[in-house]
Structure 1
Amino acid sequence: MRAATIDRAGAEAAGTLSVDSRGDALVVRLAGAWTLETALAVDAALRELAERQVRGATFDATAVTRLDSAGAWAIRRTAGRLERRGVSVEVAGLGEGLRAIFDKAALHDPTAAVEPPPRWSLLDQLEALGRRSSEGLRTGRSLLGLLGQVVVALGRVVLRPTRLRGTATVAQIEATGVTALPIVGLLCFLVGVVLAYMGALQLARFGAAVLTVNLVGISVLREIGILLTAIIVAGRSGSAFAAQIGTMKVNQEVDALETMGLSVVDVLVLPRVVALVIVLPALTVFADVAGLAGGAVICLFQLDLSTGQFLSQLAAGVTIWSFLVGLIKAPFFAVVIALVGCHNGLAVSGSAESVGRQTTRAVVESIFLVIVLNAIFAIAFAEIGI
């Protein structure tokens, strides 16, 4: 039996390499801190070791105290060269944390066959469609379950109003409503301007430019005001709900609430739902006013209408139902946005990546459901003659 030891002198807890020959097998004992400095110091010895004519080699890393990617790669490189020559290699003794670093230093095998990209056949597409449909059904069932919990929580609040967390609800009203006024007003005003300008250009060809007032009034009050407001709130507040609750889930604050015997629905979900149900109708009224103001600017300056003429034409062209139709939709849209945001926040699995993924899903799903619900309302109101 013979042994060779290579030490990196002058450094505390330096990495060492000790090689014992046992017949046609090698036992390589590693100790100390295997970092970049150690890898550089023992590089020549590792290269010489990789050329040994043996049948087996065991790397004993029980005494390794530190390991970085450079040290792990140096060991991996030596073991890989031995394996390519048909030598049986085993790396033993690494702790759980060091083993994770060592595994990440796996060498890329350039000779490995590259798996061809999957070919999309009709069956593959049907399978993917079925999988997504099944996932959508599971998500819908989970949303309905959360809606049921919210309804039960609202019933308890009706019986005992003090159960509603007033401070949290007011804070959510401010965050989702008051701070959203500038962006909602600006966007709806600009949309009203564009709608009136483009409508006036087309209607002027038929000598009916004055009907631009009717076009703006009906469009803004029935559809544009509520739909644009809901989309803005979904992108702004729905994503905030998912990110806030998701971050609490990552920090185990949700688990702490459950441990203390508090209801997650009562503490986190219900205040957000109630706040958005209160806020969205108010934002819709504000959006309607802003959209009509944008249309009025174009009508006053491009069509040479006076303020009195604009208001008279608006009163003749729209009815109270034109305003109420948009307002009726607001609470339903609010419930959908709040539930989807909270549901995706509670679905976070515990990582920062999951927070981002669920936040994105919250925005996409809430906007999709708002548009679908708006289409259902439009058909329903048309069928009953409103």
Structure 2
Amino acid sequence: MPLFPNYHRAPVTFIQANNATWVDEKNQSYSDLSSGIGVYNVGACHPQVESALVEQAHHLWHVPNLYQNPLQETVAQKLGGDTYTTYFANSGAEANEAAIKLARLATGKSTIISFTNSFHGRTYAAMAATGQDSIHAGMPMLTGFEYAKFNDINSVKSLLNDDVAAIMLELIQGEGGVIPAEQAFIDDLIALAHQQHILVIIDEVQTGMGRTGKKFAFEHFGFEPDIFTSAKGLANGIPVGAMLAKNELAPALAYGTHGSTFGGNPLAMAAASATLTVLDGVLNDIDDKIKHFWLKLDEFRQLPTVKEVRGLGMMAGITLNIPVNDVVSELLKAHIIVLSAGNNTLRLLPPLTISTEQLTDSLEKIKHYLLKK
């Protein structure tokens, strides 16, 4: 057994991809409505990102964080502007680990309140912050984490004490089933956090980089988090993560408190910088595509197999009354790549750059399949 059996891998091998079309070893094409689990936000193998990678590869692949790296400063400025300070890691889980550590260092407190049904990663602190029993199963969890009910401010209030350092949440629970936060809940949560001098950490690993129609989901909700994290779509397929914090928190992550050998390496930074440049252009023209996406999704609400449709931007969850894993498998046989999530939910995360024609055709095929079930 060359590989651990911790993944259920579908019986297909992809060898090439371009935007929203993937090609398997038999030269068969598939329409991608998954973005590689929210990674290819500006489409697979985007030529501008590819060019940046190739150019950087001609010069320098790796340099440790013992030396200056101007590319990191360029990407940090594009991500957080003058308001935030950035730490680079290799993944969303690592970025969330850094956020948890920073919150505790900056406040001198230990407790992190997160939410049931959340997902923050599978490294130990990120896993402990994740409010899902299935993720915790079989392993002792780290202490210092409490779980409130999502969209329930009274549930948050019941967990408050003098040791709470931060409240950590996704604004749309992706792995939990594509469940959006309610505006009133967020308004109350931010007011409560400010009143109690508690930091707010927003996990933008899946919702960031344009997924919701804005660069970061918190822009929809009218506030700026104290700390937020990014990964997945940040370098459009090249592994990278980032933790950003308000500038006044930066001194808490002092020399020797945290680090990463590969974090912010030149290849990842070249790809991230190019991706962010491409994304700015994509977001200028995304509104009509999002409107079309949801007009088509509204047609799903009438299907007998569909219980609910929810989401934001180019992120949708369709809760089914038939087994979602079977639907994912059958659609793959029909050459449409989709995902599952949460409580029997079909999850759609199409590239922001997918053509309207390909998006329409793919959604029509999914609707037709569900209608036959």
Q: TM-score range by the shorter chain?
A: under 0.3
Greater share of helix:
1
Greater share of strand:
2
| TM-score, length of structure 2 as denominator length | 0.18
Bigger RCO of structures 1 and 2 (CA < 8 A, at least 6 apart): 2
Q: Compare CA radii of gyration and give the structure with the larger one.
A: 1
